[in-house]
Amino acid sequence: MSDYTNYRTGEPVVDSKAPEGPVADRWDTRRFQAKLVNPANRRKHTVIVVGTGLAGGSAGATLAEQGYHVVQFCFQDSPRRAHSVAAQGGINAAKNYRNDGDSVHRLFYDTVKGGDFRARESNVHRLAEISVEIIDQCVAQGVPFAREYGGLLDNRSFGGVQVSRTFYARGQTGQQLLLGAYQALSRQIAAGNVELHARTEMLDLIVVDGRARGIVARDLVTGRIDTYFADAVVLASGGYGNVFYLSTNAMNSNATAVWRAHRRGAYFANPCFTQIHPTCIPRTGDHQSKLTLMSESLRNDGRIWVPKAKGDQRPAGEIPEDERDYYLERIYPAFGNLVPRDIASRAAKNVCDEGRGVGPGGQGVYLDFAEAIQRMGRAAVEEKYGNLFDMYAQITAENPYETPMRIYPAVHYTMGGLWVDYDLQTTVPGLFAIGEANFSDHGANRLGASALMQGLADGYFVLPSTINDYLARHPHSEEIDDRHPAVAEAVAETEDRLHLLLAVDGDRTPDSFHREIGALMWEFCGMARTEEGLREALHRIPRIREEFWRRVKVPGTGEQLNQALEKANRVVDYLELAELMCLDALHRAESCGGHFREESQTPDGEAARRDEEFSYVAAWEFGATGDAPVLHKEDLVFEYVHPTQRSYA
């Protein structure tokens, strides 16, 4: 086995862009300090945006509105299908429309605490400030948020907080916000300010003289490999949860853009921070291709329970009240069913491990609306959650109005991602990462309804302000074309990789490898991790990778629509990224947020952080495939929210 675990610790990485001073003033300060590009000069600058989700769509639209020439990519057939579309529950904003004591500072505090003190205070505060503007922006675009009879916006509460600050559009908030961004982008496409390439997938980053200058992309219909050049590249390509094969991500969500950028020099931060969402529909068998989330908002009114007795096989309705264990309400009386996601997930795993799980294989817990239906009436429950209930019924053929839903945790979101500074710039100058693709705002656990907030904050407001500074400092990019050695090399590497995949002609499908690595990651790098398990995973991953390159089979050619080839190429990157995730999880010998190391827990089984050793961001620098990466630490400083053991009891 290689010395992959034998990583070296390099120079610390420092966020040089975050201003000093009071946290509430830092964003203003930075915006004032940042250099500007004269409006007349903006059209001379080209910016590539990869991805059209909430972050990418909003960034593309806003940059184009500012006058930049935007070249945008999505692998879907339309920008409207980016997976942000599937977010259900809502988006947070410190509007305090409820007059329930909310404020920017409270949202900031909740988010830092919810992230288990592994996020940057500067970034989180900025996010909380901008949250307010996002709602204004979206309403102006015509996003049909839920409203009350007076015509004003409705709010609900979400896990990990005690105020109602979540704006929502029934169970389709992500869809509606995405359509808002998509429509703004469409307007810019029509105006000729955005050049859109749909069904086109980024396969490599072009770095010239140390600066990101373009991408190599494949037209998924013709198979053509093309190069695109720009003055800056923005990655808004989402998270990497599909490493686990089964997740709530879309089938085609992938890590290729971020992983290829990482291989070209961008540090990868906190890769082991993955969020396991507590309320997903349990899997039904080996054929399962993806998992479906049931919005966390259901925990507002649904009560989670399992039978008190192990192996209780009775149907839910026949288990009397006093033989049920509403375990979240019992263990965490203050937050009850609304504890943060990492805690709810782990609690579900624990009761199932005890043998009290329900449904096939005992991998499930009940989410019961009987009490809510009695209290609010069926019509009110329907109005609030109707589409979620329909979705559940459609998938499981069970009626959740009559029998409790069965839920189980599933991989949902990745807090880790490309390391970025306060300007959202990676360690490769000119390469920016926004939305789930970066690591910056959620620490070790993301609170519900915060992903939409962060994606839109980055895309509408942060990046369009900070990218000016970079472009103003690099006003004249050297002309490059395909003959430039760095470009030719990137193209050749990409073409070689695809040719190789087609040439192996083995006896296993790309999916079979994806399932194998996914199962391995779920077992050893999932909800609970141990040193022993992670070492086992790190031992096995290179073997799977080796087998992949020997046995994978991809029919057809590269010069056509070839979905098997697309998949195989994504699996190549999962097989490398998985290794880094396990290493990161191994090196972080503490528990925090979504990262639970069994060796590091409190006597009552809660995650025990070890701040003196691990209060830092782990930013990894790529070595070579299978070679140990270099760890760069960014120390985290908490001036406003002092790290304490999180308590939701």
Partner 1 sequence: MKLTLRVWRQQNAEAPGAMVTYEVDGISRDMSFLEMLDTLNEELILGGDEPVAFDHDCREGICGACSLVINGDAHGPERTTTCQLHMRSFQDGDTIDVEPWRASAFPVVKDLVVDRSAFDRIIQSGGYISAPTGTAPDAHATPVPKPDADFAFEHAECIGCGACVAACPNGSAMLFTSAKVNHLNVLPQGAPERETRVLDMVATMDEEGFGGCTLTGECATACPKGIPLPSIAAMNKEWLRATRKVRR
Site for partner 1 in 233-252 (CB under 8 A): 248, 250-252
Is the Cβ–Cβ distance between 275 and 263 less than 8 Å? no
Minimum distance from CB of 390 to partner 1 (Å)? 9
Q: Choose the binding region for partner 1 from 143-151, 261-269, 321-329, 523-531 (rule: CB under 8 A).
A: 143-151
Q: Is 460 in the site for partner 1 (CB under 8 A)?
A: yes
Cα–Cα distance for residue pair 166/95, rounded to 1 Å: 9
- Annotate each residue in 491-520 with x if it binds partner 1 (CB under 8 A) or - if it does not, as one string: ----------------x-xxxx--------
Task: Between 221 and 649, name the residue whose CB sits nearer to partner 1.
Answer: 221
The sign of the dihedral angle between the CA atoms of 527, 93, 73, 422 is negative
Minimum distance from CB of 504 to partner 1 (Å)? 12
Which tokens hold the place of 433? 């990462």
Report helix angle 173-190 to 54-66, nearest 10.
30
Minimum distance from CB of 556 to partner 1 (Å)? 5
Cα–Cα distance for residue pair 403/314, rounded to 1 Å: 13
Task: Between 65 and 547, name the residue whose CB sits nearer to partner 1.
Answer: 65
The CA dihedral of 27, 633, 531, 625, to the nearest 10 degrees, is 100
Q: Is 136 in the site for partner 1 (CB under 8 A)?
A: yes
Minimum distance from CB of 431 to partner 1 (Å)? 22
Among the listed residues 623, 498, 576, the one whose alpha carbon sits nearest the alpha carbon of residue 258: 576
Residues 562 to 591 in contact with partner 1, rule: CB under 8 A: 562-564
Task: Between 69 and 118, name the residue whose CB sits nearer to partner 1.
Answer: 69
Q: Is 361 in the site for partner 1 (CB under 8 A)?
A: no
Task: Between 97 and 401, name the residue whose CB sits nearer to partner 1.
Answer: 97
Cα–Cα distance for residue pair 63/193, rounded to 1 Å: 9
Task: Between 187 and 474, name the residue whose CB sits nearer to partner 1.
Answer: 187
- Annotate each residue in 435-454 with x if it binds partner 1 (CB under 8 A) or - if it does not, as one string: --------------------
One of 1, 14, 36, 221 touching partner 1 (CB under 8 A): 221
Minimum distance from CB of 244 to partner 1 (Å)? 15
List the alpha helices (DSSP H) in 505-530. Answer: 510-524
Residues 253 to 292 in contact with partner 1, rule: CB under 8 A: 284-285, 287-290, 292
Q: Is 395 in the site for partner 1 (CB under 8 A)?
A: yes
Task: Between 217 and 269, name the residue whose CB sits nearer to partner 1.
Answer: 217
State how far the alpha carbon of 207 is from the alpha carbons of 75, 231, 430, 549, in Å. Answer: 22, 11, 9, 27
Is the Cβ–Cβ distance between 185 and 194 less than 8 Å? yes
Q: Is 553 in the site for partner 1 (CB under 8 A)?
A: yes
Minimum distance from CB of 221 to partner 1 (Å)? 6
Minimum distance from CB of 563 to partner 1 (Å)? 6
Task: Between 517 and 619, name the residue whose CB sits nearer to partner 1.
Answer: 517
Secondary structure (3-state) at 349: helix
Task: Between 275 and 562, name the residue whose CB sits nearer to partner 1.
Answer: 562
| Count of residues touching partner 1 (by CB under 8 A) | 83
The DSSP letter of residue 235 is E
Residues 396 to 425 in contact with partner 1, rule: CB under 8 A: 397
Minimum distance from CB of 554 to partner 1 (Å)? 8
Give the H or E element holding residue 32: helix 26-33
DSSP states of 142-182: T----B-TTSPBP-B--TT-SS--EE-STT-HHHHHHHHHH
Residues labelled catalytic: 341
Cα–Cα distance for residue pair 286/328, rounded to 1 Å: 30
Q: Is 2 in the site for partner 1 (CB under 8 A)?
A: no
Minimum distance from CB of 234 to partner 1 (Å)? 15
Cα–Cα distance for residue pair 78/80, rounded to 1 Å: 5
Is the Cβ–Cβ distance between 174 and 452 less than 8 Å? yes
One of 4, 7, 109, 145 touching partner 1 (CB under 8 A): 145
Task: Between 190 and 503, name the residue whose CB sits nearer to partner 1.
Answer: 190
Residues 156 to 215 in contact with partner 1, rule: CB under 8 A: 169-170, 172, 174-176, 179, 182-184, 186-187, 189-190, 198
125-162 in b/e burial notation, b at 16+ Cβ within 10 A? Answer: bbbbbbbeebbebbeebebebbeeeeeebbbbbbbbbe
Give the H or E element holding residue 493: helix 485-504
3-state percent breakdown (helix, strand, coil) of the chain, nearest 5? 40, 15, 40
Q: Choose the binding region for partner 1 from 145-153, 259-267, 484-492, 519-527 (rule: CB under 8 A).
A: 145-153
Cα–Cα distance for residue pair 119/201, rounded to 1 Å: 31
Residues 59 to 118 in contact with partner 1, rule: CB under 8 A: 61-62, 65, 76-81, 83, 85-86, 95, 97
